[in-house]
């Protein structure tokens, strides 16, 4: 049996009541446009939020220490603090650092292969670290070697020269030395601030810059320096599962020194959450919009279908009286909705692409992959069929006897 055998009469019937069909088709088209683009945005944000930062986020936290007393000695305080922090049971590693991955604020510089103000340069985040950084950040050295204790120097406020040695992330090495040849970057000289040479002594697998919205998020350089500043940050990695306990102890221990203020004691988990807050908010909002919109559209279809069933009660009764089975009637309404939905999703496919082009041009998003559209079409077809099923069943239940009544 041909399921489409009723298509001819249905189309003729629809052409007499165009406006209802057009309204549903348009609703389906707009709904598809919004839903497909929303899903696309959600997927993009989800992927962005789940990029690996390369560090042991679950067990790490950091804090700021702002010294202010007149006799406050930066270097001895920092050295003593690190010693004391490392002595706290549960602390796995700790160091002083200038900026925190994903936190939103930090230092950036650019490196170049050739000296000179007009040479091509590559932006990079800068972390000032000590020789324990691999352990603190849970990094893997993929080429060369890491800094030793003797490499670490104190960096003064306003100091303009740089260390002789530098360790860079693999992503930065790939930019500087090529996707294939990056391991050969070890031992090569790169230039910072146009002309100052630094030798790449090692390459680490992965670490992210402080700015989650930056295109070159994975380009990072590590410099073997400790800041001789009054205001410093300590980054602490606790043993598995002991972060919260350690965090409390470290904070109260450091606060004993009344010559300083301890601020922003924060876990990496919280930092990630803050860094991607607007993305996760966008995902939640768009999900709510999609669900509500689908319900509204489905209810609209139910409403209009019920109405058209009521109006056609007599005709349905007549068809039943003339021998149509219940399933014939059911099929009639399902097929009618299918045809209307088809028009809707075809228009919807065009609108979806249109909106995507607008989003790409206005907001610089990437264009959507083609397969979103057929998936969206199928989903909207299903929504239409589900919504019309109830009214169609009621139509099928119309007794043939109704044909003989006047009203």
Partner 1 sequence: MFSYYLRLAFKSMGRNPILSALMVAAIALGIGASMTTITVNYMMSSNPIPEKSEQLFYVQVDNWSPHNPYDDETGFPPTQLTWRDANNLYNAQQGTRQTIMAKSGGVVQPDDQDVKPFEAAFRLATNEFFAMFNVPFLFGSGWDTQADKNREHVVVITKQINERVFGGDNSVGRELTIAGHTFKVIGVLDTWQPIPKFYDVENGAFEDIEDVFMPFLLKEELELPSWGNTSCWKPRESDGFHAFLNSECINFQMWVELLDANAESGYLAFLNNYVNEQKSLGRFPRPLNNKLSHVMEWMEISEVVEEDAKVMMWLSLMFLTVCLLNTIGLLLAKFSSKSSEIGLRRAVGASKKDLFYQHTVETACIGLLGGLLGLVLALLGLTGIKSLYGDFATKVANFDFTLVLLGLLLALISSIAAGLYPTWRACNIQPASQLKSQ
CB of 163 to partner 1, least distance (A): 15
What is Dmax (Cα atoms) for the chain?
A: 104
Q: Are strands 231-238 and 60-67 parallel, antiparallel or unpaired?
A: antiparallel
Give 299-351 as a DSSP string: HHHHHHHHHHHHHTHHHHHHHHHTT--HHHHHHHHHHHHHHHHHHHHHHHHHH
Give the whole-angstrom CA distance, residue 15 versus residue 27: 18
Contacts of 278 (CB under 8 A, 6+ apart): none
Give the whole-angstrom CA distance, residue 12 versus residue 14: 5
Query: Residue 54 or 317: which CB sits closer to partner 1?
Result: 317
Contact region with partner 1 (CB under 8 A), list: 31-39, 74-82, 84-92, 390-398: 31-39
Which position among 58, 157, 382, 401 is part of the footprint of partner 1 (CB under 8 A)?
157
CB of 117 to partner 1, least distance (A): 6
Query: Residue 119 or 382: which CB sits closer to partner 1?
Result: 119
User: What tokens were used for 43?
Assistant: 């997927």
The footprint of partner 1 on residues 189-218 (CB under 8 A) is 193-196
Which position among 359, 379, 402, 403 is part of the footprint of partner 1 (CB under 8 A)?
359
Q: Judged by CB under 8 A, does residue 282 bind partner 1?
A: yes
Give the whole-angstrom CA distance, residue 335 versus residue 329: 10
The footprint of partner 1 on residues 77-116 (CB under 8 A) is none
Q: Judged by CB under 8 A, does residue 1 bind partner 1?
A: no
Give the whole-angstrom CA distance, residue 374 versus residue 310: 34
DSSP 110: E
CB of 145 to partner 1, least distance (A): 28
Edge to edge, the sheet with strand 60-67 lists: 91-97, 231-238, 60-67, 260-267
CB of 88 to partner 1, least distance (A): 23
Contact region with partner 1 (CB under 8 A), list: 125-133, 159-167, 173-181, 379-387: 159-167
CB of 158 to partner 1, least distance (A): 5
Let me know if 142 is exposed, middle or buried by CB neighbors in 10 A (0-12, 13-18, 19+). middle
Q: Which residue has the tokens 């309204």?
A: 23
Q: Judged by CB under 8 A, does residue 345 bind partner 1?
A: no
CB of 284 to partner 1, least distance (A): 6
The answer to whether 111 and 122 are in contact (CB under 8 A) is yes
Contact residues: partner 1, CB under 8 A: 19-20, 23-24, 26-27, 30-31, 33-34, 37-38, 41, 66, 68, 70, 117-118, 156-161, 193-196, 231, 261, 263, 274, 277-278, 280-282, 284-286, 289, 292-293, 296-297, 299-300, 303-304, 306-308, 310-311, 355, 359, 362-363, 406-407
């Amino acid at each position: 049996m041909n399921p489409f055998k009723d298509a001819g009469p249905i189309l003729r019937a629809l052409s007499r009541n165009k406006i209802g069909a057009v309204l549903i088709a348009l609703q389906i088209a707009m709904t598809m446009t919004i839903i497909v683009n929303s899903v696309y945005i959600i997927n993009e944000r989800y992927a962005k939020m789940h990029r690996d930062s390369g560090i042991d986020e679950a067990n790490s936290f950091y804090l700021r220490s702002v010294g202010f007393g007149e006799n406050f000695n930066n270097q001895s305080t920092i050295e003593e603090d690190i010693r004391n922090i490392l002595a706290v049971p549960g602390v796995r590693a700790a160091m002083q650092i200038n900026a925190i991955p994903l936190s939103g604020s930090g230092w950036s510089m650019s490196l170049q292969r050739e000296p000179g103000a007009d040479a091509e340069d590559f932006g990079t985040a800068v972390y000032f670290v000590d020789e324990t950084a691999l352990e603190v950040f849970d990094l893997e050295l993929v080429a060369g070697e890491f800094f030793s204790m003797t490499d670490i120097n104190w960096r003064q406020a306003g100091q303009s020269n740089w260390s002789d040695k530098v360790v860079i992330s693999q992503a930065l090495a790939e930019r500087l030395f090529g996707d294939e040849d990056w391991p050969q970057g070890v031992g090569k000289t790169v230039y910072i601030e146009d002309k100052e040479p630094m030798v790449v002594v090692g390459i680490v697998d992965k670490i992210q810059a402080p700015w989650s919205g930056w295109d070159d998020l994975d380009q990072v350089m590590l410099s073997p320096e400790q800041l001789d500043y009054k205001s410093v940050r300590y980054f602490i990695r606790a043993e598995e599962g002991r972060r919260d306990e350690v965090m409390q102890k470290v904070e109260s221990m450091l606060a004993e020194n009344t010559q300083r203020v301890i601020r922003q004691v924060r876990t990496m988990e919280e930092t990630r959450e803050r860094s991607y807050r607007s993305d996760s908010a966008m995902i939640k909002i768009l999900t709510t919009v999609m669900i509500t919109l689908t319900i509204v559209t489905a209810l609209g279809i139910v409403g209009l279908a019920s109405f058209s069933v009521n109006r056609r009660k007599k005709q349905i009764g007549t068809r039943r009286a003339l021998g149509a089975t219940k399933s014939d009637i059911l099929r009639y309404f399902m097929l009618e909705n299918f045809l209307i939905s088809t028009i809707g999703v075809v228009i919807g496919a065009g609108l979806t692409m249109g909106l995507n082009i607008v989003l790409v041009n206005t907001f610089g998003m990437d264009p959507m992959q083609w397969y979103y559209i057929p998936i969206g079409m199928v989903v909207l077809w299903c929504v239409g069929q589900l919504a019309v099923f109830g009214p169609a069943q009621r139509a099928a239940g119309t007794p043939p006897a109704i044909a003989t009544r006047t009203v």
